[in-house]
Amino acid sequence: MYAKVFLVIISQSKLTPLAINQNHTGKVNQISRHFGAVTATPNIVEDPKTSVGIHIVFGMLASVAIIGNLLVCLVSIHQRAVMKGALHTLIFCLAIIDMLTGLFAIITPGFVIPAEAFPYPNGTAGVLYCKLIDSEYFLFSLGFISIYLVLTITLERWFAIAQPWRYKVLFSVKNCRIMVACIIIGQLILTIENILNETFNPAFIPPCQWGSVFDDKATRNIFFIIMETIRLFIPVTVIVLCYIDIARRLFFLTKIGQNDNVNKSITRRRATITAFTASMALIVCWLPNELYFTLFQFEVIQLDPNISKAFKILIITNSSLNPFLYAITNELYRDGIIKLFSSLKSRKHGKRNKPRATQVFK
């Protein structure tokens, strides 16, 4: 499948920028897309080899995100007797979101397949596709859901260490599921501006066109910074402050075995390290992209397509990196992967060695 896609990418990369981006008026229409940001950018001729390489990287990362997080989900289900409780429930939900992120990176133009080479549907299907998929509505909704899931995991760790008497009440499995549902609904609502900004015009190539619901620049900037603050800057700040306090409590105020038994303290620290690495990976992968587009939105810098794609590669990297972080930092996931493959191998071996029914002739 990918071989065919890359052949299309290579053939399309040989077209001139005018042939790719020219609309029905004969003008080149190149618009930057990042939620509230709508600013015309200069026409930049990209190196075809660099463009192909970037799409290949997107394809590889998306595939790893799908396969890796699917494996995390299967391990969680296979080892559900051991992997239970709030933390593993939240990690299971995060793995599903990361897996969907990889899937939407494949079907969203501009990531694995360039926009000019993408087979856009026509009619009503084209309108829906532009508003829901090409607008990156689902892709970035999933990203912001991931951010708030990581925030919830951070708060779960903080309550487990700082206020254990409230932990069992607040972070029951039932409450975690309610929190996840609220996060999903909330982020789908907060990102609805993408749907409103995108329009379908079959006279354009590509037919999906990005605009803005706000005509006034000042209003657009205010809305942008409010959304960025809610969706990213507040959760990132809370995550950092929580882990500073967790580190203070774990490594400076409490010694292993002081209040709890040794095994329980070690397990708690191990779970916290897993959550911490996932949180730091999210901040490192997401913050550069959001800071870059914030500076661009306020016209502090000019948009560079290569830098923009590099930062989006970091975002997809976050989804593909998490399964490896779980396995490296937590032996439950390492052992779970080994047991899952051992179980599959034994089942396959058992089927091969299963005695065949013999037919008795009378």
Per-residue model confidence as pLDDT tens digits over 294-348: 999 898 989 888 888 889 999 999 999 999 999 999 888 988 888 888 887 777 6
Mean pLDDT within 241-246:
95
**How far is Cα 159 from Cα 148, in angstroms, rounded to an integer?**
16
* Fold (topology level) of 48-342: Rhopdopsin 7-helix transmembrane proteins (1.20.1070)
- Per-residue confidence band for 217, with pLDDT thresholds at 50, 70 and 90: confident
Whether 185 shows a pLDDT value over 60: the answer reads yes
Quote the tokens at residue 139.
């892709």
Provide the mean pLDDT of the chain.
Answer: 81
Of 37-51, 124-138, 189-203, 319-333, which gets the smallest average pLDDT? 37-51
User: Domain locations in the chain?
Assistant: 48-342
The tokens describing 344, both together, are 């599959």
SS3 179: helix
User: How many whole angstroms separate alpha carbon 5 and alpha carbon 318?
Assistant: 24
Tell me the per-residue pLDDT of 14-70, one tens digit each, with 9 for 90 and over: 333 333 344 433 333 334 455 434 333 333 445 566 678 888 999 999 999 999 999
Mean pLDDT within 277-286: 95
> Are the beta carbons of 41 and 56 closer than 8 angstroms?
no
β-partners of residue 40 are 31
| Residue 322 near residue 69, CB atoms below 8 Å | yes
Query: Which among 147, 146, 172, 149 has a CA at the least distance from the CA of 159?
Result: 172
41 or 350: whose pLDDT is higher?
A: 350
Calculated CA dihedral for residues 138, 224, 193, 148, nearest 10 degrees: 40
The predicted-structure confidence for 147-177, as pLDDT tens digits, reads as follows 999 999 999 999 999 998 999 899 999 999 9
The bridge status of strand 208-210 relative to strand 198-200 is: antiparallel
Number of H helices, E strands in the chain: 14, 2
